[in-house]
Structure 1
């Protein structure tokens, strides 16, 4: 009996393990996950890098061009040691650099719009890598995150939603709706199914890598802060607010620094959110955590003058919102618009507060009126007898022997 019970328990554990493996395999190969989330990543990072290149357009030569203090020869020597690569160092010509810069702007714009994303995702990764490695000593945490995400987005199907590719596929399916599908051989069907499965697996693996990257980023940052005495004492943000390098608005930073209790609570909440972030992703608690992280990054962008870093982190956080959240947003916006329209008062005709409304006789015919002085000293209108056909008898309009149908 004991051996039989052990065999039954082992069989149960084996079945549960097989069910878990089957569920993971179905999740990996069944359908691509977070298509709206990865589209937000594509739009967000494409827009961020486009704005970044446009902002640095007047200083492009000093940062990445032939006139930079970090010359292409020095960059090439560093590449031999680090293994980096940049298309900007292939030539010292100014015309070549200007052409590369224009192509980078076009690539970022087309990647943002989602045009031929399979090819543009690779070109966007090349552009980000080239500009990042060309001026490796002039980057910050935002540039590093955008670089990593541009490489990860190559693996994903980031053009399935909210893109020109999605619009083209939708129009193509509408046009081919009544056209019968051509017959294919069994080998062609198998090849097509294998291609679809491969794309799905690569996409899901890419999304998993992106999620793990963000979790490691928050977790490591929080654990690193815990080790510092200033973060434990609640004074870390005080020192940050007094750094001249990160004070774009000195008066505002000084105003915030005066509220010591708020600064200390914000420091503790920052550490708590970053450490707890990887552990709240599988429940509803992640929504308030993401909202607080959004406020934290907005504060970093305003107080420390790091908009690229804050924008990159906000976009990365958006990948943890489910697709049903993004599909519900249009309905929510329409409901808000309808409520706004319904709450507006219906315009009515303005009437003179000193006038008495015109009274009508039988049949709604108006009576003539003239201006008279009311007892309170206000001007008004009083009805006067009109034609005989419109006069009201003293018996409230009921005439003796008259036909009541009149």
Structure 2
């Protein structure tokens, strides 16, 4: 078991998808709330930094946003948070950026703890788990830099010293084994967290009378807080049998998902979960929560799926570029010579060129 844990890192592409997904989610979240940042996290928020600090004394939480009441300091922290999210998304110095990204999520989450929901809680947990994973080895600037160094094949002075030093070689092997073990444990914890989330949610719903009676979604779509499209909610509510069937199917999928991880049924359930979260984002107006859940579900897809998807996307992009180059390049019309006894090669735009016997003789000599 220990040998399997430290032999090779698993799900490197899935970890990269988690990094890209959650970095993009939180970057979009901060950009969306940019006009309202002071009302939510700033010094002029109804939940003042003093109240947040008093709550931190009881809960042991931390937020760098409460270190100062200055608006300039808050704007600098907000700009730094945007930069950290962007660099974490791109995979630049991912080890350090993952820790900073987790610090950003913890600080903003704790500063306005009473305004968070399930999506924020999931992103917080995943940000903490991703600090242990090697989420920058694929589809990142770090991976691109490593590949470029391997192609060049020019080791520096320190690299030559490391190659000739037996002590450094042993240290490198131990470091690689430790990083692999942390990555595998982190991915296992992420998978266990998602399974626990789905299983507990499904079992909790089973205990409710409205879910047992198939009327839970009827009450949900009639809540004013979750009606971004009232006409669409009314349309869905006009089909009671469909609402009851979707409610029962939702509970069944959530309860069955942890037990289907080691079978092909997992892929069918992932597709159904994708449809369910898309419906939640559109119908209930919870895009951040749905995006966080969809990204978490991506951890269960194997690396061969992501490699095949990357190859397919690369081929499609290559064909599109070649097609655009063919359509954009000018075409020179080829006009065949006219037959006749005049001995002239005539074109629409070119002048008349005589082709005499001396020209034919030179062609024969050539």
Q: CA deviation at 1:175?
A: 1.3
Q: CA deviation at 1:123?
A: 0.5
Matched positions, count: 326
In structure 2, distance between residues paired with 1:334 and 1:192? 34
In structure 1, distance between residues paired with 2:235 and 2:313? 36
Partner of 2:14: 37
In structure 2, distance between residues paired with 1:321 and 1:94? 44
1:259 pairs with one of 212, 235, 239? 239
1:176 pairs with one of 140, 150, 153? 153
Higher helix share: 2
Partner of 1:287: 267
RMSD of equivalent CA atoms: 2.3
In structure 2, distance between residues paired with 1:89 and 1:238? 42
Pairing of 1:178-197 with structure 2 (within 5 A): 183-197=163-177
Partner of 1:306: 286
2:63 pairs with one of 82, 86, 100? 86
Gaps of 5+ in 2: 322-326, 328-337, 341-366
Partner of 1:249: 229
Q: TM-score, normalised by structure 2?
A: 0.85
Q: Which has the larger radius of gyration?
A: 1
In structure 2, distance between residues paired with 1:174 and 1:245? 55
Q: TM-score, normalised by structure 1?
A: 0.76
| CA deviation map 1:289-340 (0-9, x unaligned) | 0000000000000011000000000000000000000001133345667999
Partner of 1:58: 35
Which of structures 1 and 2 has the larger relative contact order (alpha carbons within 8 angstroms, sep 6+)? 2
In structure 2, distance between residues paired with 1:177 and 1:138? 52
1:275 pairs with one of 234, 238, 255? 255
- Specify whether residues 115 and 339 from structure 1 end up closer, same or farther in structure 2 by C-alpha distance, changes over 3 A only: closer
Partner of 2:96: 119
- Specify whether residues 72 and 337 from structure 1 end up closer, same or farther in structure 2 by C-alpha distance, changes over 3 A only: closer
Partner of 2:307: 327
In the alignment, structure 1 residue 218 sits paired with structure 2 residue 205: no
Q: CA deviation at 1:33?
A: 0.6
Q: Name the SS of the counterpart of 2:185 in structure 1.
A: helix
Pairing of 1:330-369 with structure 2 (within 5 A): 330-333=310-313
